[in-house]
Each structure stands twice: as C-alpha cells, then as structure tokens.
Amino acid sequence: MMADARSYAASLVEESLGLVRGQLDDALRQDLVDELSSVMRGAHPDDVGRPFIEERMLSVLSEVRERALERDGFFARKARWPNAAAFAVCLTHDVDNVSHPASHIWKTRSRFGAADLIGGLLGVVRLYDNVRMISKKEGEHGFRSSFYFMSANYPLSRVRKASDAIRDGGWDVGLHGDFGTHDSPEKMNEALSRFSAGLGFRPNGLREHYLKFDFGKSWELMEDAGFDYDTTVGTNDRLGYRLGLASPFHPPGPDWTPLNLLEIPLTLMDTTLWGYLKRTEEEGFSDCIRFVETAEKTEGLLTLLWHQEAVRMRGGRVYWKLLQEFKTRGCYVASGSQVAHWWRVRSLPMVRDGRLIRLEGDPPKDLVIRLELAEGREPTVRSGTVEGRGSSRSVRPKRGFELEVS
C-alpha cells in the first residue's frame, strides 16, 4: 500500500485512541493531518505548554463516539493504559556522571545537606551515584524506571554491578547517547559496542544527551541500530510537548511508513526547572503537578527525566515528593521499556465483523475495553467479563473475545 501523510496520521490516531479499525473515517480532518505531519518533520510549535495534537485527537474521539452511538447504538474503544488507569507516568534517569572530584563538591557545597556534604568530601558518600538509592525508593512504591548509561563519560565497569542488580529487579537499562550518536551511524555503533562490552547486553531504549535530535536523520538511525524505543524528543529550555503529543507513537519514515521504533515523547526534565527556568523547589513542584493534571485530563503520558546525580541536591530531592504524588493519584507508573511493551501489545487490532466486535490476537492481561451504550442497548460478551451498569461499562476481554450489542 502506498503510504502518505494522511494514512500515517490515520494509523497514529486510530492506535492512539484505541478505535475499532476503520472507524475514524472522515472524522480525521485535513488540518489535523497537516499539523501532525509538520511537527513530525520538525516544525517548532509556538506553544509547547499544551499537548495540542492530543487535544485535537480528543475532539476527534468525541465526534467518532457521538456518531457511533447514533448509528450503531454503542461505542467501544481500548483504554489507553493497563487496567484503564486515568493516565500514565514514565520514570527515566539519565546517568551523565557518577562522580565528581572533591573540588567540584566544595564549589557546589550549598546544594547539599550537611551530612551528605561531609560524607561526600570525606569520600564515604558517593553523592553523584544514586542508582541503587533511587531504584530502592521507587521499588518501595511498586514502581520501575529506566536508567540510561553513557558509554564514554565514565568506565562502565563502575556501574556494571548496579546495572546487573537493577535489571534483575525489573528496571530498564538503556543507552544515553554521546555527542554525535544522534546523526552519525558510526558514532552510534561505537557507543553501542562500548555499552555492550561494558554492561553485557544490547540496550533496547535510548535517550540522547542534551536531547540532541535531527528530524531528518535520528529516528531512522535509531531504527537501523535496532532500538525498541527512543525517548529523546522534548525541549531543553521549556517544559512540555515538543510534538504536541502526550502518548507514544511510531515515528514516520521518509515515505510516511510508520517505523517499528516507538517514540516516547519527553515532557519534563529536572534541569529545565532549576537551570533554565530558575524555579524554587516549591515552584518546580507545582510545575510538575500542572503537567500531572494535563496528563489526567488527556488520558496522557507524562514522561519525566530526572537526572540520577541530582537527587541528593536542592531541587533534585523534589523527586521523592513526586513519587509519593504518583502513588496517591493511582496512575500507571512504568519504565520506558514497560511503556513501550504495553503500547505494542495494546495495539492488537480491534475489528468489526458484521454485528460483532473482535480482537485480532490474544488480548494482553490488563487491557480494558470501554463500552458506551445508547439507551436500551445491552451487550453480550463472549469470553470476557463486563463491569459496571447503565450506559458505561468496562469490558475485560479474554482469548476468543467477541462483543455484540443488541
């Protein structure tokens, strides 16, 4: 099939909203296709503070929903997140450094608490190596996250033990690109060889250093290097949605064929708060909550980049409060590889076959189908369970699932 921007946009929107195949029809307006294709080719939006594409997709959703309720008497869509969680948070940490000399510690002494500072200067506390501490605290909340190790900045032998231990516990370890890996396949191959030699496996996930990204080259280079997902596309100097999206997607190739690679767009980076925007801890925390609330409103994903070397410092320690907040709000919290895995298994097609709705393949365990019914309609579900009553139901499909509404 010939790919073009329109069919690319249609497949992205259909997958993102979890629609029955083909249901989008002409609800996909050309101006949304144009907007989406221009950001995918690198156009810089005026306002990254709002997930503008996500918001437009939600209005497409309400149009498709209304039309289906009127025409078919029901509307079914796959919930975005496991167990129909209201929104999702992807926790990620770049590992630019794991140590600094005592002179650096002394120069930046005002950032640390007294005990850490003394311990750091005496060499008994490793102030900038917090991989185990972070994973331990995340684990206490039942969370997993991603750590991206750089292959040229420090000997990977120094982090091998921590990497092995956290991977055993279900954490995701990926590559933090070096300068040049975003646009040079040679540089990328060198970094991958160093990474594999040092840590003993090939990484599935990637984040480029300084969020270096070339819209004409990087995604294909990442695809060719065999990555499962990337989470680089974001902004350094502002918070928000470089692409207007708060959900994963398959980036387009040069001819608009979707790549196999998944992009998990970055929303918020700690160094933007303290470095570029000069926020106080209180202000930085409220900025984070503002993005949590945007995610809640759009069933969206908040991808958080929190540098591991910063969590003992003023500013960086806000991370512990954020973990508590995510726990309280009951969202889906996951590492990059977990988010990518979920997005892939959730993408199994939901199709209409005469009066029946079916899934092509075995549904993942935590998939929920949201079902809305017009007045007087009742669903019959074969192989699956239905929760709720009235016009709004949650269906948990099992192998061999079929839905019919009469």
91: closest CA among 339, 299, 337, 335? 335
DSSP 296-314: HHHT-EEEEE--GGGTTST
Residue number with CB closer to Zn ion (4 or 190): 190
Q: Residue 386 Cβ, how far from Zn ion at the closest point, in Å?
A: 47
Burial class (CB in 10 A: 0-12, 13-18, 19+), 387: exposed
> What would the two tokens of residue 158 be?
């120094």
Residue number with CB closer to Zn ion (14 or 96): 96
> What would the two tokens of residue 185 be?
């396949």
Residues 6+ apart with CB under 8 A from 193: none
Residue number with CB closer to Zn ion (49 or 180): 180
Residue number with CB closer to Zn ion (209 or 346): 209
Rg of the chain in Å (alpha carbons): 22
Residue number with CB closer to Zn ion (307 or 341): 307
Q: Residue 202 Cβ, how far from Zn ion at the closest point, in Å?
A: 20
How far is 41 from 277, CA to CA, in rounded Å?
27
Instruction: Indicate if the alpha-carbon torsion angle 47, 53, 59, 63 is positive or negative.
Output: positive
How far is 20 from 15, CA to CA, in rounded Å?
9
Q: Which residue's CB atom is positioned nearest to Zn ion?
A: 209
Contacts to Zn ion by CB under 5 A: 94, 96, 209
Q: Residue 177 Cβ, how far from Zn ion at the closest point, in Å?
A: 8
Residue number with CB closer to Zn ion (176 or 346): 176
Q: Residue 146 Cβ, how far from Zn ion at the closest point, in Å?
A: 13
> What would the two tokens of residue 298 be?
């759009």
Residue number with CB closer to Zn ion (94 or 230): 94
- Helix (H), strand (E), coil (C) string for 173-216: EEEECCCCCCCCHHHHHHHHHHHHHHHCCCCCEEECHHHCCCCC
Q: Residue 128 Cβ, how far from Zn ion at the closest point, in Å?
A: 13
Q: Residue 316 Cβ, how far from Zn ion at the closest point, in Å?
A: 14
> What would the two tokens of residue 88 be?
């999702």
Residues 6+ apart with CB under 8 A from 304: 89, 90, 91, 92, 267, 268, 288, 322
Q: Residue 46 Cβ, how far from Zn ion at the closest point, in Å?
A: 27
Residue number with CB closer to Zn ion (232 or 294): 232
Residues 6+ apart with CB under 8 A from 210: 236
Q: Residue 206 Cβ, how far from Zn ion at the closest point, in Å?
A: 12
